[in-house]
Structure 1
């Protein structure tokens, strides 16, 4: 066989491989998650991805370049723009941050909404007071507001309640294994989170996502990740 024929066959194989990759990408979702926290949120979401067998390339979890809500959205904007320049934009972008006592919370939420209104796939996933409230909803419904107590911050108060649950007395921000531990209660937590949002929407004249205490829509992100198993190219459990 001549060198020209060999070259043509290699070129054809490479072209076919590229075509297969492009077809697979067209059928596979790809999202970006930027987290305010460096441990609790990314650990939980990464473990949820593993529990469901979702490819890493489908769910990209990145830390924020700064711990305030505005930096979360700024980081997400930067990463989204960089990805778009490569010619393959993320299908969805999730900015995960807490209400807590952050002065930039409202501005960050508004910015995420502006990006979404402008046609970019941005979603603000927020929790009041903190991400651990989502964990609490796995054990029961509550709309009782949280507040500082003595030397405990409002976030510490939520964590203290979570640590009263069976098997979680030693809970810490760096704890792993929560996604698997709470998996059986996931539907319950999602139901409670949705009920809480509906209640807040009925009773608050002001923006519930800003003013409700407590609040979370983490279930929307969790259900998005869970829903990826229905993608045609999914090969998990």
Structure 2
């Protein structure tokens, strides 16, 4: 029988202290992403799905928090800045990247354009959509460039998924399954490519409320997928 080697308690305690210090150092070095969404469920559910799909090493190196607020345009930007300040004050850690996610919907062109321009002036990432976040879903299946209303998205999403999920499929706006469905039956690479194509269509124009359809969600998704 092999002889058991007894490790002194003091050495075990030192190992434990060193391991605890190592883990603390890793936590302190983590980059912090804060993603603040207009919707309280639709967008947070999608980004939570994406977050959980990132490699484990990424989630060790980056802390990614997602908040759904029920705010919109300018008030959403205000809330995002408030959350950033509150986090940094309570933890003494810096928020490395702040993103907001919101839609045009029925908000005035002035409010919509001003919120986007404000983000650009304050280095806040802005994943806006005109008219709605669901355009990002549709781009997983094909390219769209004809203007559409938010009332159109439900039927178009259902038509895209019924061939694989059956005629009984109905799109539920706050579904927790959309990221998984899009990953399995759509193409994120196509969605990013289609999003870039839409963005380039409008060039440097800053009348964002007239960019229909268009979404900048691809910028945030691509950035998250490239994290190392």
Of residues 73, 78, 81 in structure 2, which corresponds to 1:74?
Answer: 78
1:100 match: 105
Deviations 1:122-148 (A, max 9, x none): 1111001000001111111111011xx
Aligned residues: 207
Deviation at 1:14, TM superposition (A): 4.6
5 Å-filtered alignment, 1:49-68, equals 49-53=51-55, 55=59, 58-64=63-69, 66-68=70-72
Out of 28-37 and 45-54, give the one that drifted further: 45-54
User: Which 4+ stretches in 1 moved above 3 angstroms?
Assistant: 9-16, 53-57
TM-score, length basis structure 2: 0.80
- CA separation in 2, counterparts of 1:206 and 1:227? 27
2:116 is aligned with 1:109:
yes
5 Å-filtered alignment, 1:20-169, equals 20-26=23-29, 28-53=30-55, 55=59, 58-64=63-69, 66-85=70-89, 86-103=91-108, 104-116=111-123, 122-146=124-148, 154-167=149-162, 169=169
- CA separation in 1, counterparts of 2:96 and 2:219? 15
- CA separation in 2, counterparts of 1:110 and 1:12? 52
- CA separation in 2, counterparts of 1:53 and 1:172? 28
Unaligned runs of 5+ in 1: 1-5, 117-121, 147-153, 231-237
Unaligned runs of 5+ in 2: 1-8
Deviation at 1:11, TM superposition (A): 9.0
* Secondary structure of residue in 2 paired with 1:93: strand
Deviation at 1:10, TM superposition (A): 6.5
- CA separation in 2, counterparts of 1:193 and 1:130? 13
